[in-house]
Amino acid sequence: MRIKIFLIFLLFCILSSLLLKETKAQSSLKSPNYEITWPNLNMVGGNTTSPGYKMGVTGGQTAPGLYESTGYKIRAGFQYIHSIIPFSFRISALALNFGTINPEVLTNNQSLTLTVNSGSAGGYQVQVQENDELTSTALSTIPDTSCDPVDTCDYQSNAGTWTQNTTYGFGYKMTGTDVPSEFTGGKFKRFANASNSPTENPTKVMGLTPLEEHEAGRNKIATMSARINIDNIQAAGVYQNILTFTALPTY
């Protein structure tokens, strides 16, 4: 009887010790060669298929699902992170070829297409920045546009109307999938200029985050339409600069 009471008491002490021990959530597992984020033990997992569909399944994560309220969204669960759409970015042309700028042709327009495949649950962005203003081999320059005086785009993040023939410079507009709302109505922007002081940060031209109703998908397509408008005393020549596009998925 004493032995049984002693064993019960010992078991009680062990259980009490375990219950009182500090519990910590493991946020990641790391070593010099690997990192596992959000470790968890799944109850089920794998791919299921039939002639009409293919579905990946995981179970065991905490409170999976979509939760919404004013000001935020929570996408909880492994399936919001797992992606069957690899991220890719493609530009239809390596240059906006305006050819030789001639003051007899005051307005010049060129366009290129941006294509994104994004399976990211966290959204993505495509940004653009120019290295300097358009410059010719004779060192003449075409300034970046400020758009029309009544609706200016004098800063790289501002969009404005550009309909007047007497508004000169170099700028662009965006149309298509996941284009920022400020381009609505055919508004233009000038390119963020890396040579300005202070340096102007790249500007988003495409992409949404989850809070902006981002949806993963293939072949998200947007068109950049660039415009050069000059006066009749602009020096003729071939003008060029460098546009840098940066595509950033968020996982």
Whole-number average pLDDT of the chain:
84
Q: What percent of the chain has pLDDT over 90?
A: 53
Reported as type and span, the H/E element at residue 243 is: strand 243-249
Assess whether pLDDT exceeds 50 at residue 166.
Answer: yes
| DSSP per residue, 47-91 | EEEETTEEEEEEE--SS-EEEEETTEEEEESGGGT--SS--EEEE
159 bridge partner residues: none
Reported as type and span, the H/E element at residue 206 is: strand 203-206
Report the pLDDT value the prediction gives residue 105, as an integer from 0 to 100.
Answer: 85
Residue 195 lies in a domain: yes
Residue 82 lies in a domain: no
Residue 153 lies in a domain: yes
Say which residue, 226 or 17, is predicted with more confidence: 226
For residue 236, give both structure tokens.
């003729």
Say which residue, 9 or 243, is predicted with more confidence: 243
For residue 231, give both structure tokens.
């006066």
The 10s digit of each residue's pLDDT in 50-95 is: 888 777 776 777 777 778 888 777 777 766 666 678 899 999 999 9
Report the pLDDT value the prediction gives residue 9, as an integer from 0 to 100.
Answer: 47
Ramachandran sector of residue 110 (left: φ over 0; alpha: ψ -120 to 50; beta: rest): beta
Q: Tell me the CATH number at 172.
A: 2.60.40
For residue 218, give both structure tokens.
């293939």
Residue 25 lies in a domain: no
pTM, full prediction: 0.71
Q: Which amino acid is at 65?
A: G
249 bridge partner residues: 124
* Total tally of structural domains belonging to the chain: 1
Residue 54 lies in a domain: no
Three-state DSSP class for 16?
helix
Residue 66 lies in a domain: no
How far is residue 142's CA from residue 168's CA, in Å, rounded to a whole number? 8
- Structural domain containing residue 176: 88-249
Residue 202 lies in a domain: yes
Residue 102 lies in a domain: yes
Three-state DSSP class for 119?
coil
User: What are the angstrom distances between the C-alpha of 69 and each of 64, 74, 75, 214?
Assistant: 16, 9, 12, 16
The 10s digit of each residue's pLDDT in 27-54 is: 677 788 777 766 666 666 677 788 887 7
The 10s digit of each residue's pLDDT in 173-222 is: 999 999 999 999 999 999 999 999 888 999 999 998 877 888 888 999 99
